[in-house]
Structure 1
Amino acid sequence: MSARPSPQPAPWWLRASAYLPVPVFRAAGWLMGAALLCLAPRRRRVVRRNLALCFPEAGAWQRWVWTWQTFKHFSQSFLDRVWLWHGPIGRIRKRVDIDDPHGVLQQPGPMLFFVPHFYAMDAGWARLTLDVPRRWWTFYAPQEHAGIDRWIKEGRKRFGAPRLVSRREGIRPLLKGLREGASICLLPDMDLGARNAVFVPFFGVPAATVTSLPRLAAAAKVPVATFCCRMVSGGYRVEVGPVWVDYPAGDDEADARRMNEALEAMIRTMPGQYHWLHRRFKTRPPGEPPLYAD
């Protein structure tokens, strides 16, 4: 059996940049976000359409502020990966706090964590795999660019030898991992098509919502909790919620609806940090018109 190849060392300039203070990364991310806002009109239209659908009660100016924040936080969190993946461990502990008021992370045994697509999720993953001694697994979406793909995979595997399961492998490896005691971070809040999904409201709009979270929880008989990570001044904060009571209920639509309601509550606390760049309503119920112009 061949040995696993060692990760390729990062370029010297990337490792040196990891020692820069957070304000420098945040300023660079601000500039990068402003450039993307101007130079990516298609994505800008997707963000504005998502916000108009989900927050029709908000004024046009407020939705524009959230649009700007979306590009800014995307860029800042992308650049912060430099110090998360190449910086000293002490800086990660100082800059990424963990808030676990219910002691969920100390509970023994396998567990499913619902982890929505907030831009800070890589910071939360780094801190948890660094300091919480569990067998961490998660899904991974391969990137088109080989260099970016290798950088992201090696960064997410920096601490604790976690298992990254490619989306191409499906959910069977995750079920096997749960039965063997793993703690799995699942990100089921994207539009992955109508297969294995149900249409339930997301901010009042029917959205194709995959049912992997309740189905895995039921099949492996494991508890479900939520963790999200938010960007704060000087770094990040991981927020771990309590174990969900009476979940799953055994009804795919009811379970998917409950998941979306929990997600909505989190988004309302930080609308500008959610992944609105994704076409969340791309898949439509039969007979319904598309919601995004080409």
Structure 2
Amino acid sequence: MIRNRNSDGTHIPRFLLNLVAKTFQILPHRKALALGRGTGDVIRRILPKKVELARRNLEMAYPDLAGTPELEQRVQDVFRHFGMMGAEFLRFPVLTEAWLREHVQVSGLEHVFSLLEQGKGVLAFSAHFGNWELAIKRLALDIPVQIHVVIRRIKDPNVHRFIEEYRERYGGAVSILQDQGPLSIFRLLKKNGIVVTVLDQNAGKGEGVFTPYFGRPACTYSSVARIAIRQNIPLLPVFDARTDLENHQVVLGAPIPPPDLPEERSIQMLTEACTEKIEEMVRKHPSQWIWMHNRWKTKPDEVSTDPVG
């Protein structure tokens, strides 16, 4: 799980958030995406530290790109992608079921129904990749069970409430705060519920285990694997990828069962398997992952492997 963050950031007025959302909603879809790309360019220019972090991470993951024009294009594409993702999220109120079914294709739904038939719930993992919010909105059309997503508390309380309300009102998902612990997740799984979390953020000291990610040890939260092992359920990979400007593909992979090993060893191996799936998807669409996140911040000599949760 991700450690708690205080709500001590800025306070963007709610009317301004609503105004920005309405602007994206009244535009035709392609023009809204173009505005999103432009917004990504603006953010790239005003956040040089994030740009430098994205550049450094990409150089380490793809050494052959270091110092090349391709690297700078990749950095630009990353920010533009997340600008378009934001545009799509703000357009949730006007994305109809017909539009979703036409532009967001889904494969692997049988895995969800198979797990629900077993009666132990569905514990899925994803990443800050593609448009994970759009994936949930699309899946909610075909899955008759309420989807719950584990979310991080945003520093700005106004932005936090705005996104949470949008997600629940228009995105088909109910939010669970990560800083409130795993008890609510256990309860939902016991009721045969569906819980989705992301598993690609840096974990701090005592919060995770190290897993290989693009050839470097990345400290990864171990709580998700621990829950799966204690509930004796597999972890379900769920990823969305943008296939072209307007279209997406949501892929639900084969569930990953917990190894039949001592708990700590099982946690290590299951977390490694999840990280491997994330890297596999990012390598296919490298401009769609959040490279401006300090994924390798925690170093091996700074971490304790004490149990979490």
Aligned-pair RMSD on alpha carbons?
Answer: 2.5
* 2:255 match: 243
Say how many residue pairs are matched.
280
* 1:4 match: none
Q: Which amino acid in structure 2 is aligned with residue 124 of structure 1?
A: A
TM-score (norm 1): 0.86
Distance in 2 (alpha carbons) for counterparts of 1:287 and 1:196: 11
Distance in 1 (alpha carbons) for counterparts of 2:24 and 2:214: 40
* 2:165 match: 154
Deviates more, 1:57-66 or 1:198-207: 57-66
* 1:205 match: 216
Deviation at 1:34, TM superposition (A): 1.6
Q: Secondary structure at the match of 2:217?
A: strand
Q: Which amino acid in structure 2 is aligned with residue 169 of structure 1?
A: Q
Deviation by residue 1:144-173 (Cα, 9 ceiling, x = unmatched): 223321221011112586431112102221
Distance in 1 (alpha carbons) for counterparts of 2:37 and 2:113: 37
Distance in 1 (alpha carbons) for counterparts of 2:35 and 2:187: 42
* 2:28 match: 21
* 1:50 match: 57
Distance in 2 (alpha carbons) for counterparts of 1:271 and 1:284: 24
Structure 1 unaligned residues grouped into runs of 5+: 1-7, 289-294
**Alpha carbons of structure 1 residues 16 and 58: separation in structure 2 relative to 1, 3 Å:** closer
Deviation at 1:114, TM superposition (A): 1.4
Structure 2 unaligned residues grouped into runs of 5+: 1-13, 304-309
> How do 1:89-168 residues align onto structure 2 when only pairs under 5 Å count?
89-100=97-108, 103-107=110-114, 108=116, 109=119, 110-158=121-169, 162-168=173-179
Deviates more, 1:155-164 or 1:28-37: 155-164
8 Å contact from structure 1 (residues 15, 87) kept in 2: no
> How do 1:257-272 residues align onto structure 2 when only pairs under 5 Å count?
257-272=272-287
Distance in 1 (alpha carbons) for counterparts of 2:221 and 2:260: 14
Q: Which amino acid in structure 2 is aligned with residue 210 of structure 1?
A: Y
8 Å contact from structure 1 (residues 224, 247) kept in 2: no
Q: Which amino acid in structure 1 is aligned with residue 250 of structure 2?
A: V
* 2:84 match: 76
Q: Secondary structure at the match of 1:237?
A: strand
**Alpha carbons of structure 1 residues 159 and 13: separation in structure 2 relative to 1, 3 Å:** closer
**Alpha carbons of structure 1 residues 247 and 266: separation in structure 2 relative to 1, 3 Å:** farther
* 2:233 match: 222
**Which is helix-richer, 1 or 2?**
2
TM-score (norm 2): 0.82
